Structure 1
Amino acid sequence: MPKINGNEIRPGNVLEHNGGLWSAVKVDHVKPGKGGAFAQVEMRNLRNGSKLNERFRSADKVERVRLEQKDQQFLYETDGILTFMDSETYEQIELPADLLGDRRPFLQDGMMITVEFYENEALNATLPQKVVCKIVETEPVVKGQTAANSFKPATLENGVKVMVPPFVGQDEEIVVNTETMEYAERA
């Protein structure tokens, strides 16, 4: 595995540190008035979800791990366990539902997601960046209200609340960005 300097760590990098696999969530480069510069890295453990703040000087070497990414199809959920199937080998894997966090409601039947593996161990799952959802409830369209850049609340079929432009009405399908949990466009 390649070793990188402490100042080369970027958000999203997966590092082997203290015998565990950690994902860099937030990286701040700090240059104090006295002493050497360092990177303040907030990391999340990929196996148990615990968090850790660590300082890395530029001279420190850390192992950067490359995860293998495979597309998996979502099949079903049972008691908080999500079941996915590899579309090439038809092997099934199970992951905890809390791995997706607050993006869990956007997971739909048959949806293709990317699962990251480290030596045949599934560690992380990412949804597609954009998902089509139907609006179940929102305020009616009011004529002449499109001049200002205003948004109104809307409830989606999966129960998530998002802000939508005033011209979008009830029972319409919209595209939602799963990273920012915001309205992107009409479907």
Structure 2
Amino acid sequence: MISSNDFRTGTSIVMDGAVWKVVEFLHVKPGKGSAFVRTKLKSVQTGNVVEKTFRAGETVPQANIEKSVMQHTYKDGDQYVFMDMETFEEVSIAPDTLGDKAKFIKEEMEVSVVTWDGTILDVELPTSVVLEIVETDPGVKGDTATGGTKPAILETGAQVMVPLFIAQGERIKVDTRDGSYLGRDNA
């Protein structure tokens, strides 16, 4: 249990059988009446944001969220199979849990899997990944870095916009948060 006086940004609580993360909080002490804590909470499962007011000192259950490093080993049908790097246990994760992140996951990639009471809430990818371009229009002489962009399909099936000078077979860095091109891979 955690007191509403101890709320901080990022604190996870259990409310109505779901996990909520404190996005904003404000401790209000009016001249007349008792103090209260006004919060903005974000659902970890759905992403919905609600505003809720707690009495000062009110206790709520704290969510014990665990993060574990796992490696994507293979894809079984439409399920993504991850292996815990410490216990070597395998866990299958449905594509709807991954959402848009699924298009950036490749084999042997290490990710952080967020769980609560044995339920997988989220999969956190690295901020950038290096992927190979498997299909794009060929570059034409005279294409410059300041020119336009063209679509490219990556080894995972994701489509990103790349500069005109990028060719098929090149390895590029992609931002996993918004799917944007970051640059060529220098490795």
Name the TM-score, length of structure 1 as normaliser.
Answer: 0.73
Identity %: 31
Instruction: Give the letter aligned to residue 50 of structure 2.
Output: E
Shift of 1:149: 5.1
AA aligned to 2:94 is: P
Q: Partner residue of 2:178?
A: 180
Alpha-carbon separation, structure 2, partners of 1:5 and 1:75: 43
Alignment match, 2:50: 54
Q: 1:147 to 1:96 in 2, by over 3 A?
A: closer
List runs of 5+ in structure 1 lacking aligned partners: 30-36
Instruction: Give the RMSD, CA atoms, in angstroms.
Output: 3.2
Segments of structure 2 that go 5 or more residues without pairing to the other structure are 27-36
The higher radius of gyration belongs to: 2
Match of 1:122 in 2: 120
Q: Indicate which of 161, 164, 180 corresponds to 2:162.
A: 164
Contact 1:7 1:58 in 2 (8 A): no
Deviates more, 1:177-186 or 1:61-70: 61-70
Stretches of 4+ aligned residues off by more than 6 angstroms:
none
Q: What TM-score does the superposition give when structure 2 sets the normalisation length?
A: 0.73
Matches within 5 A, 1:1-187: 1-4=1-4, 9=9, 14-23=12-21, 41=41, 43-44=42-43, 46=45, 49=46, 52-57=48-53, 65-146=63-144, 148=146, 150-187=148-185
Distance 1:90 1:147 in 2: 45
Distance 2:40 2:119 in 1: 28
Q: 1:101 to 1:23 in 2, by over 3 A?
A: farther
Amino acid at match of 1:15: I
